[in-house]
Amino acid sequence: MKVKAYVGSAWYRDCDPFMSVAFNPERKRYNTRDKASLKLERLALQSAADDWSGCDSGETKRAYLDSVCTSGVFLEESVTLTDEQFDDFSKQGYCYFEGL
């Protein structure tokens, strides 16, 4: 299924993206670039905090979180989603996808 969506990615410095997210611009909570960007940052930091809890990198949590980068989001006219991703996109207003 193809949808119009705000899309963005997150990664650790010097690494490939570890998440790409599509946000439904028809949902009030993600209907602006700023709202979708803020949610992308929150999702990325939560994922990094979870990763930090499960690893023995020797880094402080703050240093680990500081290494997270995001692309911000941009409006893409045609994002291809699977049926499962489309269900999440419709119900919760965003979904993870292989993309950017």
Classify domain 2-96 by CATH architecture.
Roll (3.10)
Indicate the pTM of the whole model: 0.89
Distance CA 80, CA 86 (A): 9
Per-residue pLDDT of the chain (100 residues; tens, 9 = 90+): 999 999 999 999 888 899 999 999 999 999 999 999 999 999 999 999 998 888 887 889 898 899 999 988 999 999 999 999 999 999 999 999 976 5
Residue indicated by tokens 């499960």: 54
| CA–CA distance, 69 with 96 (Å, rounded to integer) | 17
| Total count of residues recorded for the chain | 100
Locate the domains of the chain by residue range: 2-96
